[in-house]
Amino acid sequence: MKHANKYQRTYFNVENAPMRWIKKDYVDHAPIWCSVDLRDGNQSLIIPMSLEEKLEFFKMLVKVGFKEIEVGFPAASETEYEFLRALIDQNLIPDDVTIQVLTQAREHIIRKTFDALKGAKKAIVHLYNSTSVAQREQVFKKSKEEIIQIAVDGAKLIKSIADETKGNYQFEYSPESFTQTEMDFAADICNAVIDVLKPTPENKVIINLPVTVQVSMPHVYANQIEYMCDHLHERENIIVSLHPHNDRGCGVADSEMGLLAGADRIEGTLFGNGERTGNVDIITLAMNMYSQGVEPNLDFTNIPEIIEVYERVTRMHVYERSPYSGELVFAAFSGSHQDAIAKGMKWREEKQLDTWTVPYLPVDPQDVGRQYDGGVIRINSQSGKGGIGYLLEQKYGYDTPKEMREDIGYLMKGISDHRHQELKSDEILEIFKQEYFNKTMPIHMLDYHFVRTNEVMVTLTIEMNGEKRDIVGRGNGRLDAVSNAITSSLNINYKDLLYKEHALTKGSTSQAVAYVGIHDEKGLMYWGAGIHDDIIAASVIALFSAVNRLMGGK
Ligand SMILES: CC(=O)SCCNC(=O)CCNC(=O)[C@H](O)C(C)(C)COP(=O)(O)OP(=O)(O)OC[C@H]1O[C@@H](n2cnc3c(N)ncnc32)[C@H](O)[C@@H]1OP(=O)(O)O
Ligand SMILES: CC(C)C(=O)C(=O)O
Ligand SMILES: [Mg+2]
């Protein structure tokens, strides 16, 4: 990178900032939320939403619980204008929701905006003009005083139209490009507007302090917000609002620190859609609060449903690793993560915990509409026995012995590695069954018969190398007798038999499963499994499966 000297720091930090906010470490209550999806989000789409698409999105925002929604820039286009008219004329705005519209501080644009608002029960009229050094010098080519004049003239006009029409309007003013504006000037222009708009406790004015372009670290923004909170006229009648964009990837940090510094309100979008790198993602902000025990007053219990609508109407894609919402954010592929998650989930179940403490998962996936099944533990070559065992148990009811899980783990990850593919849960079940269950080559056990005296005697009919024969064994228990028959009659050597059985509780069957592990002479472990209505049969089948695997059979 050769040209770093091309760039300068264009923000205005606050000298000797009190930084009272730094003592706080989390946002302890929900701010007023305002969705700007239908305006800032929409104005940055390749194809802005149609009227019908905006309507669908609006209804979704209402369902999520937004009480303030910036529905558009009515003077921008016919669609924008007609959308606002449709909301008003078709009475689609719930009584507890306030719509917001954006306007430049230009007379014809303001007038058109109020035209579009006719008949609205209430609305926030949002006026903006740019205040940064670059905008003043390059775009507007005006002095500070002239820039204040644009804002004051705009404020006077919206106030007078509102008074004339006796509409139920609240006002919002944004010094656009605020963070690149000298703070004393930002306070001066906001105060000039406040003095015109004359807020009251019943009709507060919203002062929105946007990070129009993100050019600094988040603590600088927090200092700027603290400064404004300390210097705005009539602070008690002002709602300080934040509108962070995300150019440096710090939209969430800016918002959270800005709230700590005294702001009351956030403007943002779902999934962070918006100009350039987007606006702050309200889902992340809300879920960050939620994950620390704070009710966000927005309902994200069904994020997959929200994604479906969002992707369809905006033609955007939700990034797989987008916090809380991405398809992969609750998925663990790697062995040690899976192991910890599986143990954490078990711990939670055993202790019947109400609180969420599962490692690697900051929130319970079910709280945002994601399922544990198939979504959390996913298997590839990086996976391990803990995760694979957990999946077989949770999804299919196979509670495999701890010692067998390692074998299954290496088997699955090896297959995934060679195929260079993720293994889906149904493939894992199929491989598991194929590899361990009901092995009949080279020894096919056809029948058995037990007689119990003071010990157990078994006669087994087997087929081996095309030849049918009976073998006999004795032992303390049934499996012991079968094992003795195999080792003594067939001259197969193994030792240290491990055994586990359980009823299969998942699925429609009421079958029993048995797992048997044996060691060959070198100490290598071979596992087999059997499934049957009868637990004895399941265990005999499992032992023959293990023996057949030891003999390299199928
Ligand atoms: C940071 C943001 O997201 S701000 C919102 C941005 N969103 C949009 O712009 C989407 C909707 N906008 C539009 O459809 C159009 O820009 C319109 C209809 C509003 C205005 O259209 P036009 O007048 O044709 O064009 P344009 O926006 O380029 O106007 C630029 C003029 O307005 C002035 N201007 C721009 N913003 C403002 C403002 N907020 N207040 C007062 N004047 C402004 C410019 O200085 C420029 O003045 P000049 O004609 O003397 O050079
Ligand atoms: C209109 C303003 C608030 C805006 O969108 C911005 O500054 O990013
Ligand atoms: Mg914006």
Q: Give me the residues paired with residue 501 across strands.
A: 514
Digit-coded pLDDT (tens) for 62-92: 999 999 999 999 999 999 999 999 999 999 9
Average pLDDT over the chain reads 96
Across the beta sheet with 467-475, what order do the strands follow? Answer: 443-452, 456-464, 467-475
Digit-coded pLDDT (tens) for 117-162: 999 999 999 999 999 999 999 999 999 999 999 999 999 999 999 9
pLDDT over 80 at 179, yes or no: yes
* CA angle, residues 375, 378, 379, in degrees to nearest 5: 160
Closest Cα to residue 319, out of 371, 351, 284, 356?
284
What distance in angstroms lies between residue 387's CA and the mean position of ligand 1's atoms?
55
What distance in angstroms lies between residue 372's CA and the mean position of ligand 3's atoms?
37
User: pLDDT band at 419, cuts 50/70/90?
Assistant: very high
Q: Which atom of ligand 1 is nearest to the CA of 43?
A: 10
Kindly tell me the burial class for residue 212, based on how many C-beta atoms sit within 10 Å of its own C-beta (0-12, 13-18, 19 or more).
Answer: buried
**b/e per residue, 164-182, with b = 16+ CB within 10 A?**
eeebebbbbbbbbbbbbbe
| Predicted local confidence at residue 135, as pLDDT | 98
The secondary structure of residue 38, as a DSSP letter, is I
| 449 marked among binding-site residues | no
Question: Distance between CA atoms of 300 and 271, rounded to whole angstroms?
Answer: 12
What is the percent of the chain where pLDDT is above 90? 97
Q: Which atom of ligand 2 is nearest to the CA of 176?
A: 7
What is the percent of the chain where pLDDT is above 70? 99
Q: Does 19-314 match 443-550 in CATH topology?
A: no
Question: Distance between CA atoms of 311 and 319, rounded to whole angstroms?
Answer: 11
Question: Distance between CA atoms of 55 and 313, rounded to whole angstroms?
Answer: 10
**Best mutation site among 34, 42, 102, 125 for ligand 2 pocket (most ligand atoms within 8 Å of CB):** 102
- Count of Cβ atoms closer than 10 Å to residue 236 Cβ: 8
Report domain extents, the chain.
Answer: 19-314, 335-433, 443-550
pLDDT over 90 at 372, yes or no: no
**Best mutation site among 73, 78, 104, 138 for ligand 1 pocket (most ligand atoms within 8 Å of CB):** 104
| Residue with CA closest to ligand 2 atom 5 | 40
Residues in the chain: 554
pLDDT over 70 at 107, yes or no: yes
What distance in angstroms lies between residue 122's CA and the mean position of ligand 1's atoms?
25
The answer for residues whose C-beta is within 8 angstroms of residue 11's C-beta and 6 or more apart is: 179, 180, 215, 216, 220
pLDDT over 80 at 417, yes or no: yes
| 243 marked among binding-site residues | yes
| Predicted local confidence at residue 375, as pLDDT | 84
Query: Tokens 């656009």 label which residue?
Result: 176
Largest CA distance in the chain: 109
Six token digits for residue 46: 């390749």
User: pLDDT band at 184, cuts 50/70/90?
Assistant: very high
Is the ipTM beyond the 0.85 threshold?
Answer: yes
| Predicted local confidence at residue 508, as pLDDT | 61
What distance in angstroms lies between residue 180's CA and the mean position of ligand 3's atoms?
14
| Predicted local confidence at residue 554, as pLDDT | 62
What distance in angstroms lies between residue 376's CA and the mean position of ligand 3's atoms?
35
Kindly tell me the burial class for residue 431, based on how many C-beta atoms sit within 10 Å of its own C-beta (0-12, 13-18, 19 or more).
Answer: middle
* CATH number, domain 443-550: 3.30.160.270
Question: Distance between CA atoms of 129 and 112, rounded to whole angstroms?
Answer: 17
What distance in angstroms lies between residue 104's CA and the mean position of ligand 1's atoms?
6
Beta strand 32-35 with 265-268: parallel, antiparallel or unpaired? parallel
| 245 marked among binding-site residues | yes
CATH superfamily, region 19-314: Aldolase class I (3.20.20.70)
Q: Is the CB of 174 under 6 A from ligand 2?
A: yes
Digit-coded pLDDT (tens) for 495-542: 999 999 999 977 666 899 999 999 999 999 999 999 999 999 999 999
What distance in angstroms lies between residue 212's CA and the mean position of ligand 2's atoms?
5
Taking phi first (over 0 means left), then psi (-120 to 50 degrees means alpha), and beta for anything else, what does residue 166 get?
left
| Residue with CA closest to ligand 2 atom 2 | 176
Around ligand 1, the residues with Cβ closer than 6 Å are 40, 43, 73, 75-76, 104-106, 109, 128-129, 139-140, 150, 176, 212, 275
Q: Which atom of ligand 2 is nearest to the CA of 279?
A: 8
**CA-to-CA dists, residue 184 to 21, 178, 202, 237, 264, angstroms:** 20, 11, 28, 20, 21
**Best mutation site among 113, 125, 127, 128 for ligand 2 pocket (most ligand atoms within 8 Å of CB):** 128
